[in-house]
Structure 1
Amino acid sequence: MTRNTALAATLSLPLLIAACGTPQERCISNNTSEYRTVSRLLAEVEGNLARGYAWEERQVVRDRLTQCRRVWRDRDGRAVVGYEPCWQDYVETERYRVPIDPASEQRKRDNLAGRQAQLADRAASVVQACKAAFPEQQG
């Protein structure tokens, strides 16, 4: 694991609990979002290069036979509840392979790696500043 990847893993942990995290965790999360985004994109591009293709997703509407609840009135006017077969639509997400241009992906990887290196020092200093500004209690 490279130093930048290790730092990305360290910085992504506060993101998982940012909504209910401590002030220190929220500070780190709010101030390292660009670094985490660039790191995620870099990992995606490196995966594309390793596989030789990219993944994309599309949503497909399909229908399936299921049981639907139905309410009707009997001869006396009372509500009767029952179930009957019916067709219902549902949305399914499909992943599919997309060819890549390796030269273009390598340029993208190089640019993202350069941007990640620029942001890594700033992210590390932000983490230190947040830890100093919001020290956590040892319990």
Structure 2
Amino acid sequence: MIGPMKPVLAALAALVVLSACTEQDMCIYRNTQDLRAAESRIQELEGNVARGYAIHRTTEPYTYTGVCRDKDGKPYECTKTDFRTVEKPVSIDIADQRAQLAALRSQLPALQEKASLARSQCAQLYPE
């Protein structure tokens, strides 16, 4: 995972995927966003509860010596910067995480129903 860059990469990936999608697919994608977000958060909370801690991800720069090329293409040694994701365990309130999980799970049927209705409406609006 890329930490802070993750939303940017996810958005770019979504754009690439959506560029090949039909109007119906895009309509469904837009109208099922709440369900996907809830399912993702449920997975995160389940992982936290199972582990007993959360994982905080940060992206940190690091430098290394690499090979660069001058304007004539000749190689020379240079310092380069890259980024890596660092994961650190973070203590959590398990009871709070379980409460959040229960709340999301109770909302899931309504979100699934809303998504199902949206899929039907999108199919009617944009028949393939």
- In structure 2, what is the equivalent of residue 25 of structure 1? 25
CA distance in 2, matches of 1:43, 1:115: 14
What runs of 5+ residues in structure 1 fail to find an aligned partner? 1-13, 72-79
Instruction: Give the number of aligned pairs.
Output: 115
State the TM-score, normalized to the length of structure 2. 0.77
More helix by share: 2
State the TM-score, normalized to the length of structure 1. 0.71
CA distance in 2, matches of 1:45, 1:107: 10
Aligned CA distance change for structure 1 residues 22 and 99 (closer, same or farther; 3 Å): same
Q: Deviations over 1:46-70 (max 9, x none)?
A: 1211222222211222111111223
For the aligned residue pairs, the C-alpha RMSD in angstroms reads 2.3
CA distance in 1, matches of 2:80, 2:15: 37
The higher-RCO structure (CA 8 Å, 6+ apart) is: 2
What runs of 5+ residues in structure 2 fail to find an aligned partner? 1-13
Conserved? CA contact 1:69–1:84, under 8 Å: yes
Q: Which amino acid aligns with 1:17?
A: V
Aligned CA distance change for structure 1 residues 117 and 100 (closer, same or farther; 3 Å): same
Larger Rg: 1
